[in-house]
Amino acid sequence: MKPVNLAASLVFAAAVGAGGYAIASNHGHMNHGDHGGHGDHADHSSDRSDLPASTRAYMDANDAMHADMMIEFTGDADADFILGMIPHHEGAVVMAEIVLEHGTDPEVANLAREIIAAQNEEIDWMRAWLAERGQ
Protein backbone atom coordinates (compact mmCIF):
# COMPACT_ATOMS: atom_id res chain seq x y z
CA MET A 1 0.00 0.00 0.00
CA LYS A 2 1.26 3.47 -0.91
CA PRO A 3 2.11 5.70 2.11
CA VAL A 4 -0.22 8.62 2.66
CA ASN A 5 1.22 12.04 1.86
CA LEU A 6 -0.01 14.48 4.51
CA ALA A 7 0.01 17.47 2.17
CA ALA A 8 -1.97 15.64 -0.51
CA SER A 9 -4.40 14.33 2.10
CA LEU A 10 -5.01 17.84 3.44
CA VAL A 11 -5.61 19.21 -0.06
CA PHE A 12 -8.00 16.36 -0.84
CA ALA A 13 -9.90 16.85 2.43
CA ALA A 14 -10.21 20.58 1.80
CA ALA A 15 -11.35 19.98 -1.76
CA VAL A 16 -13.97 17.46 -0.71
CA GLY A 17 -15.26 19.85 1.93
CA ALA A 18 -15.35 22.77 -0.50
CA GLY A 19 -17.00 20.62 -3.14
CA GLY A 20 -19.65 19.47 -0.69
CA TYR A 21 -20.33 23.07 0.29
CA ALA A 22 -20.57 24.12 -3.35
CA ILE A 23 -22.99 21.31 -4.12
CA ALA A 24 -25.11 22.05 -1.07
CA SER A 25 -25.18 25.77 -1.74
CA ASN A 26 -26.22 25.24 -5.37
CA HIS A 27 -28.78 22.53 -4.68
CA GLY A 28 -31.99 23.41 -6.40
CA HIS A 29 -30.56 26.60 -7.90
CA MET A 30 -29.03 25.30 -11.12
CA ASN A 31 -30.10 26.85 -14.38
CA HIS A 32 -29.65 24.79 -17.51
CA GLY A 33 -26.46 25.77 -19.28
CA ASP A 34 -24.84 27.51 -16.33
CA HIS A 35 -22.54 24.63 -15.40
CA GLY A 36 -23.90 24.13 -11.92
CA GLY A 37 -23.74 27.73 -10.84
CA HIS A 38 -20.31 28.41 -12.36
CA GLY A 39 -21.63 29.94 -15.58
CA ASP A 40 -21.03 33.50 -14.42
CA HIS A 41 -17.26 33.12 -13.88
CA ALA A 42 -16.35 34.26 -17.37
CA ASP A 43 -18.54 37.33 -16.99
CA HIS A 44 -16.25 38.68 -14.26
CA SER A 45 -12.98 38.37 -16.16
CA SER A 46 -13.06 41.99 -17.31
CA ASP A 47 -13.62 43.15 -13.72
CA ARG A 48 -10.36 41.61 -12.54
CA SER A 49 -7.88 44.26 -13.69
CA ASP A 50 -7.84 46.03 -10.32
CA LEU A 51 -7.09 42.82 -8.39
CA PRO A 52 -3.62 41.61 -7.37
CA ALA A 53 -1.92 39.41 -9.97
CA SER A 54 -2.08 36.39 -7.66
CA THR A 55 -5.83 36.82 -7.13
CA ARG A 56 -6.43 37.07 -10.88
CA ALA A 57 -4.30 33.96 -11.40
CA TYR A 58 -6.21 32.01 -8.73
CA MET A 59 -9.55 33.11 -10.18
CA ASP A 60 -8.50 32.10 -13.70
CA ALA A 61 -7.20 28.75 -12.44
CA ASN A 62 -10.43 28.15 -10.54
CA ASP A 63 -12.54 28.98 -13.59
CA ALA A 64 -10.48 26.67 -15.82
CA MET A 65 -10.58 23.83 -13.29
CA HIS A 66 -14.34 24.03 -12.88
CA ALA A 67 -14.87 24.14 -16.64
CA ASP A 68 -12.60 21.12 -17.12
CA MET A 69 -14.40 19.23 -14.35
CA MET A 70 -17.64 19.44 -16.32
CA ILE A 71 -17.04 15.98 -17.77
CA GLU A 72 -19.41 13.89 -19.83
CA PHE A 73 -20.47 11.26 -17.31
CA THR A 74 -20.11 7.64 -18.40
CA GLY A 75 -22.34 5.96 -15.82
CA ASP A 76 -19.29 4.15 -14.43
CA ALA A 77 -18.78 5.60 -10.95
CA ASP A 78 -15.08 4.69 -10.89
CA ALA A 79 -14.31 6.18 -14.31
CA ASP A 80 -16.40 9.28 -13.63
CA PHE A 81 -14.52 9.85 -10.36
CA ILE A 82 -11.16 9.56 -12.12
CA LEU A 83 -12.27 11.72 -15.08
CA GLY A 84 -13.37 14.48 -12.69
CA MET A 85 -10.38 14.19 -10.38
CA ILE A 86 -7.76 14.65 -13.10
CA PRO A 87 -8.73 18.28 -13.80
CA HIS A 88 -9.24 18.80 -10.07
CA HIS A 89 -5.66 17.68 -9.39
CA GLU A 90 -4.39 19.70 -12.35
CA GLY A 91 -6.08 22.73 -10.78
CA ALA A 92 -4.28 22.05 -7.51
CA VAL A 93 -0.96 21.96 -9.38
CA VAL A 94 -1.71 25.29 -11.06
CA MET A 95 -2.68 26.85 -7.71
CA ALA A 96 0.55 25.58 -6.14
CA GLU A 97 2.52 27.05 -9.03
CA ILE A 98 0.79 30.39 -8.48
CA VAL A 99 1.80 30.50 -4.82
CA LEU A 100 5.37 29.60 -5.78
CA GLU A 101 5.37 32.58 -8.15
CA HIS A 102 3.61 35.11 -5.91
CA GLY A 103 3.89 33.86 -2.32
CA THR A 104 6.52 34.72 0.25
CA ASP A 105 6.18 32.13 3.03
CA PRO A 106 8.82 29.36 2.79
CA GLU A 107 6.57 26.85 4.57
CA VAL A 108 3.75 27.47 2.10
CA ALA A 109 6.26 27.12 -0.75
CA ASN A 110 7.40 23.76 0.65
CA LEU A 111 3.78 22.62 0.89
CA ALA A 112 3.16 23.79 -2.69
CA ARG A 113 6.14 21.77 -3.96
CA GLU A 114 4.88 18.68 -2.09
CA ILE A 115 1.42 19.18 -3.57
CA ILE A 116 2.82 19.51 -7.09
CA ALA A 117 4.80 16.28 -6.73
CA ALA A 118 1.93 14.33 -5.13
CA GLN A 119 -0.76 15.57 -7.49
CA ASN A 120 1.36 14.91 -10.59
CA GLU A 121 2.05 11.38 -9.36
CA GLU A 122 -1.66 10.81 -8.82
CA ILE A 123 -2.54 12.34 -12.22
CA ASP A 124 -0.11 9.91 -13.89
CA TRP A 125 -1.69 7.01 -12.00
CA MET A 126 -5.22 8.07 -12.96
CA ARG A 127 -4.32 8.48 -16.64
CA ALA A 128 -2.72 5.02 -16.64
CA TRP A 129 -5.81 3.58 -14.94
CA LEU A 130 -8.05 5.10 -17.61
CA ALA A 131 -5.76 3.92 -20.42
CA GLU A 132 -5.85 0.35 -19.07
CA ARG A 133 -9.63 0.48 -19.42
CA GLY A 134 -9.62 2.03 -22.89
CA GLN A 135 -10.77 5.44 -21.73
Spatial separation of the C-alpha atoms in residues 114 and 109, rounded to whole Å: 9
Of all residues in the chain, the percent with pLDDT exceeding 70 is 66
User: Residue 74 in contact with residue 87, Cβ under 8 Å?
Assistant: no
The amino acid that residue 123 corresponds to is I
The residues near 122 (Cβ < 8 Å, ≥ 6 apart) are: 8, 85, 89
Q: Where are the alpha helices (DSSP H) in the chain?
A: 6-26, 53-68, 77-102, 106-132
Q: Kindly report, residue by residue over 25-74, the tens digit of the pLDDT.
A: 343 333 334 444 444 444 445 688 899 999 999 999 999 999 999 999 99
Whole-prediction pTM: 0.66
Spatial separation of the C-alpha atoms in residues 60 and 110, rounded to whole Å: 23
- The domain locations on the chain are 53-133
Write down the mean pLDDT value for the chain: 78
User: Residue 124 in contact with residue 11, Cβ under 8 Å?
Assistant: no
